Amino acid sequence: MSLSRRTDAASKFTSSGRYTPEAMIVITCATISLYNGIELLLLILTSSRRHNDLFSWSLAVASVGVLPYASGWLVRYFDVVGDVANMLINDIGWILLTTGQALVLYSRLNLLVKNITILKVTKWMVILNAIIWHSAVTVLLFAISTQQKLDRNGAFIKVQKIQLAFFCAQDFFLSGLYIWKTIEIIKRKQAENQTPRIIWHLFAINVGIVIVDVTLLAVSFTNNFLWQQGIKAVAYSVKLKVEFVILGKLSDYVHKGGELINVEHPVFGFVEMEPEPPSRKQSIQPSATPETTHLE
């Protein structure tokens, strides 16, 4: 969430009455974010994919969150509405976007990670982070009540930095799991020269998420809060659009087959990254048909 406030409206304009470069950057970033959020919502609604799973719902929630997050940043910078309305718009957008995008990553994690303990730990990490930090920041936000007091309140500024660190650590953990598993797949498939392109895309997007979060931390801890929100709005709106495509294709690759599947190899072969324990019973079939793989 942004803490920066420009109390002097004239600071947004040059002596000739034009917007300053900073104001133009704010307008541009907010416009890009809003466009991406609206476009992604339309893509979700018009997509042929099913809309009743966690992936679709969390993607829709995060996309909706982009709209108040970016517009709240814009109206706050230009001091369009009062403090309470500013804080409410910003807070709603921040909650939906931050936890929504984490759930997007979590919703497809079971396609790669078979360890039920890791999946449970990840789920509760997302839930507890959301409950603790969304509640703490929201209570402080409205207890302090005005933007000028927020900017000077040391406790609130510290809480803001701490919550950002925790949510970034959460993203590091989620992306780290994807990177770990995609590296395993790449190592297995490189020997056969058959590494699916979707796996490389998945690896690249999660490396990108880590880079974005490191940038957000650096910007935040140098107290450039205005640009922290701008970078986050643009980067996350783009990230959600890419995840909509890549994670959707990953699901198709695992469950449905299609153009991404090499018919000479089992569709679930790349998911089986750990040998089955000896005690587990497996039926021996002479057929070349791939045996059923249970995704945890």
CA distance 32 to 10: 25
Dist. CA 98–CA 48, nearest whole Å: 26
Query: Do the domain assignments include residue 6?
Result: no
* Separation between Cα atoms, residue 136 and residue 159, nearest integer Å: 8
CATH number, domain of 72, equals 1.20.1070.10
User: 167 and 140 in contact (C-beta within 8 Å)?
Assistant: no
d(CA 8, CA 282): 72
Give the bridge partners for 156, in sequence order. Answer: none
Tens of pLDDT along the chain (296 residues)? 544 444 344 466 666 667 777 778 888 888 999 999 999 999 888 876 666 788 889 999 999 999 999 988 888 777 777 777 888 888 999 999 999 999 999 998 988 888 999 999 999 999 999 999 999 999 888 887 666 566 666 777 888 889 999 999 999 999 999 999 888 888 877 766 666 778 888 888 889 889 988 988 888 788 777 777 788 889 889 989 988 888 888 877 776 543 333 333 333 333 333 344 444 444 445 544 444 444 44
Considering its fold, how many domains does the chain have in total?
1
Query: Whole domain around residue 240: which residue ranges?
Result: 19-255
Does residue 292 sit within a domain? no
Residue 290: inside a domain, yes or no?
no
pTM for the predicted model, two decimal places: 0.76
